Amino acid sequence: MKLAELSDRSGLPAATIKYYLREQLLPAGRRITATQAEYGDDHLRRLRLVRALIQVGKMPVATARQVLAAVEDESLDQNVRLGAAVWALPQGPKPVEDDPATAVARREVELLMRHLGWCKSLEAGDDSPAWGTLVVAVAALVRLGYPCEADDLAPYARAAAQLAVTDLDLVEQFSSTPLEQVEAAVALTVLYEPVLLSLRRLAQAEESKHRFGTEG
């Protein structure tokens, strides 16, 4: 397909596609004349991923390029490629190490990982962006005096473990090749996080109605 058709099918302006080409977020098309190139379904799928990363995930172009590099690195096994790609997604702030609440939070998170048997997560420690974000969140609970011990966090972790099974089941159903699976996992991580947040708040409202609501 020509650039105009790629633009129509992707829903992206031709100028945006040209920008992604210049920034090496999209592979060059097959040159057919001095001024024209031809694009295929791979370009269309890549544009969907780039759009999810930049427009939905609010990811800087340079970071998006790192994600795509991890996705395409065939020297990595599937688990490592998936982890490298997801780790490059935007994360929260890093823990403040001189905050006493951080030390308490780190201890409870480590205890939680041991209780769950999540050895790899424990080994990753501060190298994992998600680990750091979790420590920051738990530290906030510590400072405000809300329940935040490992036993308090465990139900959330078990629910997250079940969600992870659902996530990867969807990735395997949605994609047919290892490369597509990594791409789908990155895109779905970005796209489904607001879905999960919204569903949690709706579920809270429903549970509150059952517990505390009155007729009429």
Measured distance CA(87)–CA(130) in Å, rounded? 8
Q: Tell me 182's DSSP state.
A: H
Q: What is the mean pLDDT of residues 162-188?
A: 83
pLDDT in tens, 87-97: 877 778 889 98
Task: Quickly state the pLDDT bin for 216 (edges 50, 70, 90).
Answer: low
Task: Quickly state the pLDDT bin for 153 (edges 50, 70, 90).
Answer: very high
Domains in the chain (CATH in brackets) are 3-77 (1.10.1660.10), 100-212 (no CATH)
69 or 6, which is more confident? Answer: 6
Instruction: Find how far residue 210's CA is from the centre of its chain.
Output: 33
Instruction: Find how far residue 178's CA is from the centre of its chain.
Output: 17
Q: Tell me 53's DSSP state.
A: I
Q: What is the mean pLDDT of residues 131-153?
A: 95
Contacts of residue 85, defined as CB under 8 A and 6 or more positions apart, other chains included, come to: 67, 70, 71, 182, 185, 186
CB atoms within 10 A of CB 123: 10
The stretches of 73-149 forming alpha helices (DSSP H) are: 78-87, 100-116, 119-124, 129-144
Task: Quickly state the pLDDT bin for 105 (edges 50, 70, 90).
Answer: very high
Please give the pLDDT value at position 196.
Answer: 93
pLDDT in tens, 178-200: 777 877 887 788 888 889 999 99
Task: Quickly state the pLDDT bin for 215 (edges 50, 70, 90).
Answer: low
pTM: 0.77
Q: Tell me 30's DSSP state.
A: E
Task: Quickly state the pLDDT bin for 207 (edges 50, 70, 90).
Answer: very high
Tokens 């592979």 appear where?
27
Q: Is the pLDDT of residue 174 over 80?
A: no
Q: What is the mean pLDDT of residues 4-25?
A: 93
Task: Quickly state the pLDDT bin for 39 (edges 50, 70, 90).
Answer: very high
Q: What is the mean pLDDT of residues 44-65?
A: 84
Measured distance CA(105)–CA(95) in Å, rounded? 10
**pLDDT, averaged across the chain:** 88
